Chain A
Amino acid sequence: MLAYSLRRLLIAIPTILLLIVACFFLMHFAPGGPFTSERPLPPQVLANIEARYGLDQPLWKQLWDYLYNIVVHFDFGPSFKFKDRDVNDIIAQGFPISLTYGSLSFLVATAVGVSLGIAAAIKHNSWIDYFAVGLGIAAQALPNFIMGPILILTFTLWLGWLPGGGWHGGQWQYLVMPVIALATSYMGSIARITRSSMLEVLNSNFIRTARAKGLPTRTVIWRHALKPTLLPVVSYLGPVFVYVLTGSVFVDIYFSTGGLGQAYVGSALSRDYAVLLGVTILYGALTVVVNLLTDLAYAWFDPKIRY
């Protein structure tokens, strides 16, 4: 398993390199640049700015310098828009925030979603099942950009229980709404996947055998049914984990959390090349690592899988 993991991590290097190159060229081919503005800069002023940031160099040279600075100095370059900060600053500030509310949302979505799904499957066709399915579908139909305004209206304006946004070092009052907004729709999907997977497992032969042996339902569910049930859930959770960890632009916009999602989308719109590339690399690396962890997790859930 160690050899397998190492091999996967080695393959990740060219993958990420390819990602950087592709992103770099796509970015430069998009119309407009970081200094295109409503008030076009006089050519001489623009030339000075481009010289300062090395944008007057040929593209291959820019790419080379960029990679060199990352590998040698771990420097992801300056932000063209936020002149007082560089990419390392922006990621260091935004990523911990996204990571905090993202992992909390992940935990909430998984815990609630899996429990709902299992309860629904065990009590198939009962009111619990209908309730869980109803809730799951309703939750799935409420993406974060709908949940955001609804939550703020309810808890901030009408009830006055929670502050409408901000981060304040991650105090709980400021976490509640972002976590609910981000977790809800994933929770719905997880509940539905868990339920259908559990139903399938409960109808399979080895469960019938376990029941026939006279094992109590509790043991059947926990010892025999749970692991195979979670296999499809885990493959769904892998990408979800990366997605929520890297934050959400909607959560950042609606709750002013200061997370990385807003910085990412903002950098694309303002053609802030270095920020866009820096965050892309971070997301790429996270995806590679989480995919590896997901694959390793399969082996634990399904003994047939060996690396």
Chain B
Amino acid sequence: MNKHIRTSIAGLLTSTIITGAAFAAGTHPETGEALADDQTFIYRLGDEHTSVDPQVVEDTYGAEIVRDLFEGLMNQDEDGNLVPGVATGFTANDTKDVYTFTLRDNAKWSNGDPVTASDFVYAWRRAVDPALSSPYAWFMELMSIENAAEIIAGNAPIDDLGVKAIDDKTLEVRLSAPLPYFPQMTTHSTTFPAPQKVIEEFGDAWTKPENIVSNGAYIWTEHLPQERSVRERNEMYWDNDNTILDKVVTLVINDENVALTRYLAGELDRTEIPAGQFPRLSQEHPEEAISFPRLCNYYYTFNVSDTGPEAFKDPNIRQALSLAVDRDIIAEKVMAGGQPPAYTFAPEATAGFTVPEVEMASMNQAERDELAKELLAAAGYGPDNPLSFDMVYNTNEDHKKVAVALSQMWKQKLGVQVELANMEWKVFLEERGNQNFDLARGAWCGDYNEASTFLDLLQSQSGYNDGKYANARVDELLAEAKTSDDPAPLYTEVERIIAQETPVIPIYHYAGVYMMDSDVGNWPVDNVEQNWYSKNLYKLAE
């Protein structure tokens, strides 16, 4: 495209944006709130995103951008419920291993081409293609798509993937096992469509703003790595008429305190609140400091494998340590951002998950401490023979505060000697993964909103089970839950066993703790996965 044409197209776009901005200076069609003239949302990224290629992106920041640029079969609404995206709906066969999605007629790419079922077939094959070597290829395996595992292993051609375009608007997916929550998984960026022609034309450079073609509510217009990026309204998007926000800008600000300062100076509409500062900020800016539950947990895991300390093989000792942890102090005084204290592994916010009544939660801290002392004494530890072990966490100020608090609680209440050690992130992961630890920090954010995303970590064969906890009954229950129509009671039983055997010490569940400009409308605080879409946000008039 020569420069002249490009300039005139840019001019054309600008003018359509101006004339097409029906909502600017208007009111919200549903709520009737007055809208700001400038519909621009600016937020902080703590680090540069890894990619905006839907099949390649692996970090949260990147996934947030990809969710705006591309649209998958299904979306989530403000509460995390499944709503139509490119697909208007789906049907499943009785055995729930064949799903058929119907695509809407008016879905278009930003270059005007229609979005077809083959765009999804191409993207999904691409995701498992060993040549692309996507770090999220495993997600297609997790989705149980037929032959995904064989293709990733290089034992089958990519054409064998269980996904087929019946016609332009009908997509059929065959699964290797029934999966009741399969449609929920199509909101994940790995499953978004990809523009074959553009990728073949530009290769790895297809995601650059000047080359990219996308089908979401926004297009990628500017990217200055480590500094900023801009995405703007996509006039071709099928629901463009209902999109209010015109422009979304990200600023990369690594230091969260600097980001807070820049927020307070009015440069940002949203930033994270550093640990411990929520109480002060919510007093000074009650309209702007917000906290809401998130789908993540924070815990310490015992090494119960052969390389772990002998003492940790005794569930009573593990339980004593867990009992002596005053979660209220950590949640309210150390983190102080509205994080709920945790007595179970899966967060209460998880969909369809009822927190079981574990004994510990119903006791008060004095009772817990008393029981902890008894348990430890019964196991033969006391002032003359103190229990001692090492605990490790990855280098970070917040983790350090929590670790120090824990070690002090154990020392004062139980006389336990704890040696603290911090490690750089990659070293920490390596050591923890190789069971070179006694007690190690862990945290997990749900890949999807279902309790198994957490509880599977304690399955004996799980690659994420770094403490090597193994309980045949837990494995059995988790396996059963996979295909059960009502897995909730199974999860409850798993949590009861975990509370009894204490392979991990749940400390708290995460909260999203933000400074959010009060002009920002409709931020989905009830979407615990924080899968937010800029097209659902708007800026209110001051």
Which B residues lie within 8 Å of A271 (CB)?
Answer: 426
What are the residues of chain B within 8 A of A95 when measuring CB–CB? Answer: none
Q: Across the interface, do B258 and A165 meet the contact criterion of CB distance under 8 Å?
A: yes
Distance to closest chain A CB from B195 (angstroms): 15
Complex CA distance for A38 and B267, rounded to whole angstroms: 33
A94-B226, A156-B265 known; A164+B258 contact, CB < 8 A: yes
CB pair B135 A41 closer than 8 Å? yes
B174 at the interface (CB under 8 A from A): no
Residue A216 is within 8 A (CB to CB) of chain B in the complex:
no
Contacts between chains A and B (CB distance < 8 A), count:
139
Task: Contact check, B226 vs A258: say whether CB atoms are below 8 A apart.
Answer: yes
Residue B282 at the A interface, CB < 8 A? no
User: With the chains together, A113 CA to B227 CA distance in Å?
Assistant: 31
The listed residue (A40, A84, A253) touching B204 by CB distance below 8 A is: A84
Chain A at the B interface: SS class: loop
Q: Are A164 and B429 in contact, CB atoms less than 8 angstroms apart?
A: no
Contact partners of B131 in chain A: CB under 8 A: 52
Q: A165-B251, A269-B426 are in contact. Are A44 and B153 (CB under 8 A)?
A: yes
Q: Does B320 lie at the interface of the complex (its beta carbon under 8 Å from any beta carbon of A)? A: no
Interface flag for A82 (CB, 8 Å) = yes
Interface-side segment among A60-68, A145-153, A204-212: A145-153
Q: Note all chain A residues with C-beta closer than 8 A to B257.
A: 149
Contact with B along A23-49 (1 / 0, CB 8 A): 000000011110111111110110011
Are B426 and A256 in contact, with the CB atoms below 8 A?
Answer: no
Contacts of A165 in B (CB 8 A): 251, 253, 258, 262
A157 proximal to B (CB < 8 A)? yes
Q: Are A31 and B431 in contact (CB under 8 A)?
A: yes
- Does A254 reach chain B (CB closer than 8 Å)? yes
Per-residue CB contact flags for chain B residues 116-145 toward chain A (1 = under 8 Å, else 0) read 000000000000001101110110010000
Nearest A residue (CB) for B224: A258
Given contacts A48-B130, A269-B425, are A42 and B224 in contact (CB under 8 A)? no
Q: Is the CB of B225 within 8 A of A82?
A: yes
Tell me, yes or no, whether B421 is within 8 Å of chain A by CB: no
Q: CB distance A32 to B426 under 8 Å?
A: yes
In whole Å, how far is B211's beta carbon from the nearest beta carbon of chain A?
A: 11
For the complex, count residues of A whose C-beta is within 8 A of B: 51
0/1 per residue, B207-227, Cβ < 8 Å to A? 110000000000000001111
Q: Does B94 contact A (CB under 8 A)?
A: no
Pick the interface stretch among B45-53, B72-80, B285-293, B346-354. Answer: B45-53
Question: Nearest A residue to B255 by beta-carbon distance?
Answer: A253
Neighbouring B residues of A35 by C-beta, 8 Å: 135
Chain A residues, CB < 8 A from B52? 84
The smallest beta-carbon distance between A247 and chain B, in angstroms, is 11
* Mask of B295-308 contacts with A, CB within 8 angstroms, 1/0: 00000000000000
Q: Can you identify 26 A-B contacts, CB atoms within 8 angstroms?
A: A32-B427, A40-B433, A41-B138, A44-B149, A45-B133, A45-B135, A45-B138, A49-B135, A51-B133, A83-B51, A83-B204, A84-B205, A152-B258, A156-B265, A156-B267, A157-B261, A164-B262, A252-B254, A253-B254, A253-B255, A256-B227, A256-B252, A258-B224, A258-B227, A262-B254, A266-B48
User: Known contacts A82-B48, A82-B51; can you find 5 more A-B pairs with CB under 8 A?
Assistant: A44-B154, A52-B133, A82-B225, A84-B53, A149-B261
